[in-house]
Amino acid sequence: MTIILNTIEEKSVLEQISNLIQDNEREIVNTSDMKIAHCVGCNQCWLKTPGVCAIKDDYESILKKLVKADNLWLVSDTRFGFLDYKGKRIMDRIMPMLNMTIGFRDGWMRHELRYHALNIGLLYKGNAEQTMMEDWCKRTAANIGGHSLGAIPLTDTTDTTPTTLNSKLSTLNTQLSHLVIINGSPRVAKFSNTDKIIHSFAKGLEEAGVTWELHNLSNRKEWDAAREAFINNERTLMAFPLYVECVPGLMLEFLETLPTEHKQPKELSFLLHGGMDEGNEFRLCERFLQGLPAQLGCSYGGTLIHGGSFRIRTAPADQVAKIVTPYIEMGLLFAQKGNFLSPEAARFTGMEQYPWLIRKMVSMLFLKKVNGEFERFAKDWGCTRPLGDKPYSE
Ligand SMILES: Cc1cc2nc3c(=O)[nH]c(=O)nc-3n(C[C@H](O)[C@H](O)[C@H](O)COP(=O)(O)O)c2cc1C
């Protein structure tokens, strides 16, 4: 069975979909007619009601179709050279198809599958960067145990401007005195791992005498102030968690509201973190971020990358401190340099992939402990089902 999730409203796209995907057993779902919210990272689909999303909107009907499908085609418009927020939002909500427990698959650390493998393809409109779209498809499909069906551009003559995937590197040589920090996590600030990382990072800024202000995108009421701060200050740092191989859909929606021309030079830097430990996990998103500032009329101040943050939510306080404390040093570094373009910032990521022997050891010792930690956390949340439950049987 092939499910086609179409996020584009234009009727002409439907004809192209029909011509391009000629599977006899296919179903096209037009999501622009549906009520679908952003994933807010609440983790209930993993730890409280395994496999069932806490957001009660039209996505549940999609999940019920996905558990019966072998192939998923996403049809999406693009922005900043990548999926637009409507397309990304659909994929961010796919989490109930996975289980929170982790293991190694094909040599990489990944979540275990709740159901079966799903192959993923992309039909996209606009002038996105082809290799980026192909790579995102490959990575996303691998996360859900399947393979890529390919990334195919739809015929689209409205916009032919090439998307720049390289921004000018840091152009500001003024001393950093104040930093605007935007938390791009969709999870409420109180529970956001990014928030804890930011506060540790900011200790380093404060030690160096740099002032800072924080705006959270999880609260839409803060969007106007975040935009104003971005417009009125030289340097902005966007800190956020990796969501399905790239920027969370919610953050993409905010980015679409930012102006792209400025009176004064402006610089954007990024702090990117995520659940998995391996540096390679973040490289596609990093590529996206390298091109993003140019499209917002800014120069690029680099990206600080580090994994292993998903346990901040569930681990005991001493271990949380171990995860977030190294960011103080990075705050100091940023205060000195004004950006993350230094070799010290690059080294902060750590290893790209666990070597074979370490993978074996991590599987045997560490992952058992971590997966047990999830079980205990779920119990505390009142979860009465096994974490690997399949509420919409295959
Ligand atoms: C919808 C969703 C998608 C995610 N995708 C990834 C991913 O592709 N790779 C990864 O390493 N972590 C992924 N994560 C884990 C988050 O990056 C990680 O838990 C992070 O610490 C959350 O930060 P926050 O609490 O500030 O939102 C994902 C989490 C969610 C909720």
Quote the percentage of the chain above a pLDDT of 70.
97
Looking at residue 120, its pLDDT comes to 98
How many Å apart are CA 386 and CA 28, to the nearest integer? 33
Cα 118 to ligand 1 centre (Å): 20
Reported as a single tens digit per residue, the pLDDT across 227-259 is 999 999 999 999 999 999 999 999 999 999 999
Nearest atom in ligand 1 to the alpha carbon of residue 93 is 1
Q: Quick check: 41 and 187 in contact, CB under 8 A?
A: yes
Q: Please indicate whether residue 300, judged by its CB atom, sits closer than 6 Å to ligand 1.
A: no
Topology of 2-153 in CATH?
Answer: Rossmann fold (3.40.50)
Distance, CA 109 to ligand 1 centroid (Å)?
14
* Separation of CA 281 and ligand 1 centre (Å): 11
Positions in the chain short of pLDDT 70: 156-164, 394
Q: Record the tokens describing residue 141, joined without a space.
A: 């499909």
Domain 178-347 in the same topology as domain 2-153: yes
Which numbered atom of ligand 1 lies nearest the CA of 274?
A: 17
For the chain, give every domain's residue range: 2-153, 178-347
The pLDDT assigned to 288 comes to 96
Contact 107, 394 (CB under 8 A): no
Mutate to test the pocket of ligand 1, among 42, 46, 94, 244 (most ligand atoms within 8 A of CB): 244
Atom number of ligand 1 nearest to Cα 312: 21
Residue nearest to atom 19 of ligand 1 (CA): 310
Residues with Cβ within 8 Å of 202's Cβ and at least 6 positions away in sequence, in order, are 181, 212, 214, 331
Q: Domain 178-347 in CATH: superfamily?
A: Flavodoxin domain (3.40.50.360)
Kindly report the pTM of this predicted structure: 0.96
Q: What is residue 156's predicted lDDT score, i.e. its pLDDT?
A: 67
State the pLDDT at residue 48: 97
309 lines ligand 1 (CB under 6 A): yes
- How far are the Cα atoms of 101, 152, 167 from residue 122, in angstroms, in the given order? 27, 6, 26
Mutational pocket test of ligand 1: of 309, 323, 352, the residue with most ligand atoms within 8 Å of the beta carbon: 309
CB of 39 closer than 6 angstroms to any ligand 1 atom:
yes
pLDDT at 155: 82
